[in-house]
Structure 1
Amino acid sequence: MKFGETFMEYLHGEQERFLGRCSHVEYKRLKKVLKRCRTCKSLHRPCDAGQGEEEADGSLQLCRCEACPVCDEMFFSELMKEASEIAGCFNSRVRHLLHLLVATGIQRYIQCFSPCFKGHQQLLLEEGRMLMEYVTMNAIAIRKILKKYDKVHGSVNGEHFRSKMRAEHIELLQSPWLIELGAFYLNSRGLDAEECAECSTQFSFHFDETKSALIMSLAGSIKLEYDLTCAICLSCACSAASVMIFEGLKAASEDAKCPVCREAGVYGNSVHMSVLNLLLKKRCKEYWEERSGAERDEMLKQSKEYWDRQTKHMIGYI
């Protein structure tokens, strides 16, 4: 079965009620745009996508080899809008799903009663599975439609658009919330490191303990590997952002830059990977204890220095 048919079956299958108002890639409509481009290029006729646009001399723009100025404005702007909405919907739904797992205070107390409700854990797992299927199916749709675009126009504009999505932090399969969701599924299933979490026919998760990596397998033999070994520790990140560990990275100023990519304004959207932290604690005990111990020691050191300065300031002020 072709992917277009599979995608339409997915949209009108069990997820139709679950998706509700969530956006999805208009794969069928975008594919029709490319079909018109292919036809007008082969016949060397004006592209009728959007009824064409006029040049200065009154003639219609043609679908050129490397790009189609007639359809590009609609094609890429619409795809960017859809990807942004999908990423936003996915992130908010996953954040809500995982909230109780790291709840504190009275929320943690309420959570203790959750096992009393029949199938509570199974419902969480089912929602997690549907969210993972939602983001992976749309990510595959985006990849395929961009590949078709480059094939029709003989260009690399589709690949460049994927790079732009990564720069805008809306590359769906690179979302930190997807990694959190994968860790949640593995933690909930209690699988051994050698086992593979078969979530659906479209994807699966596997944790490779030997190199601390989360591996996601997609349909079409596509594999994504998420390296869980941090390029920089939390204490160094906080130091680069000029904040204390106990304050958190979200307290960083908007002009603070990432010490790795040097991009400014990234800390406001930082995600504390609590569920992934739990997975590492279970599967990589020595690594987790070493990192958490170093972080704890640095936090105590910073706290002592902070309160020493506050005390000296207050004494001097008085």
Structure 2
Amino acid sequence: MKFGAIYEEYRREQQDKYLAKCSHVEYKRLKKVLKKCRVGRSLQEDCPNGDQQEEGNNESPDICKCNSCTLCDQMFFTELTKEASEIAGCFSSRVQRLLNLHVPSGFLRYIWRVRQCFIDDQQIMVQEGRMLLNYVTMNAIAIRKILKKYDKIHGSVSGRDFKSKMQTDHIELLQSPWLIELGAFHLNCNSSDMDETVGFLKNEFFKNFSCDLTEARPLMTMAISETMKYEYSLTCPICLDTLFNPYALSCGHLFCKGCACGAASVGVFAHAVHMTELDMLIKTRSKDYWRQRLREERNEMVKQSKEYWDSQAMLSMGI
């Protein structure tokens, strides 16, 4: 079965489910836009110079030799940008809501613990997490395939350039910090034992997450298939060590909180995300390292506090 048919079947299954109100890539409609471009290309070949072009050109008739096509570009990239932005926003808000329930704070934590005495919501939360992972994976693959089809028809690299632009605009779905948080949640819930029993996801593209903190370069890996895998580095770019109390900045990069604060400039934390689930995962799987970093961070904070108050005391005495 081709991807288009699988994707449309997935869309039909989600009409009355948890993600019914979420945005999706209009894969079928975007394919129709590209099909119109093929028709326009065939009409252009009927011009007087068309026969001469065909004699000296062995390229596929589906390929347009222009790097830019106004027939496609005006609707295609505008529509795709809008859909990708809506999907990224919907995904981040749903993940944030789910993780707030898993790691509640304040009075909500008390209510949640009382609720757990009567109802175990762990299974439901894990299922919602898997549906979100499948949602972002399916849409990311749809975007990748439609951009690849665009480049094939036009003989250009505009689709590849648009994918780079998505990363710059922070709407690249598989590079979102919220995807890493959701993967950490998936591992924290130890949901790997559910992989064979998830009958509620018939067309499932997401396979599993794995995390290896023992190697010199700690990684989290998301497997979509046996041949398609995405790796996410868990190394802080500043201290070059495994992340501790990690934060994702607006640029999408992950840093230790202490390292980011030490190298920060004004406004750098405007849209920072505290990676609570990732911090919990590292704390659970690398206990000795986490405790050592905690001691070091506390000692550094005590040292900085002492230096600050000593300087304030000297200023007040006019020294």
Instruction: Render the CA deviation track for 1:240-275: whole Å, top value 9, x for unaligned.
Output: 215xxxxxxxxxx33x5xxxxxxxxxx212111111
Unpaired runs of 5+ residues, structure 2, are: 47-63, 239-255
Pairwise CA RMSD of aligned residues? 2.6
Task: Determine if the alignment matches structure 1 residue 17 to structure 2 residue 17.
Answer: yes
List aligned pairs for 1:210-229, cutoff 5 A.
210-211=214-215, 212-219=218-225, 221-229=227-235
1:187 and 1:157 map into 2 onto residues whose CA distance is 40
Secondary structure, in 3 states, of the residue corresponding to 2:273?
coil
Separation in structure 1 between the aligned mates of residue 31 and residue 9 of structure 2, nearest angstrom: 16
The equivalent position to 1:276 in structure 2, one of 275, 278, 282, is 278
Per-residue Cα deviation, 1:100-124 (whole angstroms, up to 9, x for no partner): 3333332221221232343411111
C-alpha change, 1:206 and 1:108, in structure 2 (3 Å) is same
- Equivalent residues, number: 276
Corresponding position: 1:206 with 2:210: yes
Q: What does residue 159 of structure 1 align with?
A: 160
Name the structure 1 match of 2:103: 102
SS in 2 for 1:17: coil
Residues 143-186 of structure 1, C-alpha deviation per residue, up to 9 Å, x if partnerless? 11101111110111111101001011111001111111111111
Does the C-alpha gap of structure 1 residues 308 and 86 become closer, same or farther in structure 2, counting only changes over 3 Å? farther
Q: Report the CA distance shift for 1:16/1:37 in structure 2 as closer, same or farther (over 3 A).
A: farther
- TM-score, length of structure 2 as denominator length: 0.78
For residue 30 of structure 2, what is the amino acid of its counterpart? Answer: L
Distance 1:305 1:104, change over 3 A: farther
Aligned-partner SS, 1:229: coil
Q: Which residue of 2 aligns with 1:37?
A: 37
Instruction: Provide the secondary structure at the position in 1 that maps to 2:223.
Output: strand
Of structures 1 and 2, the one with the larger relative CO (CA 8 A, separation 6+) is: 2
Give the structure 2 partner of residue 88 of structure 1.
Answer: 89
Name the TM-score, length of structure 1 as normaliser: 0.78
SS of match in other structure, 1:300: helix
Whether the 8 Å CA contact 1:41–1:64 is kept in 2: the answer is: no
Aligned CA distance change for structure 1 residues 213 and 145 (closer, same or farther; 3 Å)? same
Please name the residue that 2:237 is paired with.
Answer: 231
Q: Structure 1 residues 281 and 2 mapped into 2: Cα distance closer, same or farther (>3 Å)? A: same
Instruction: Structure 1: state its 5+ residue gaps.
Output: 47-62, 243-252, 257-266
Give the one of 286, 299, 302 matched to 2:301: 299
**Equivalent AA in structure 2 for residue 282 of structure 1:** T
Q: Distance in 2 between matches of 1:83 and 1:225?
A: 21
Q: Deviations over 1:179-215 (max 9, x none)?
A: 1111111111266xxx996776311211223332111
User: Are 1:209 and 1:283, in contact at CA under 8 Å, matched by a contact in 2?
Assistant: yes
Separation in 2, partners of 1:306, 1:169: 38
Matches of 1:138 and 1:281, distance apart in 2? 32
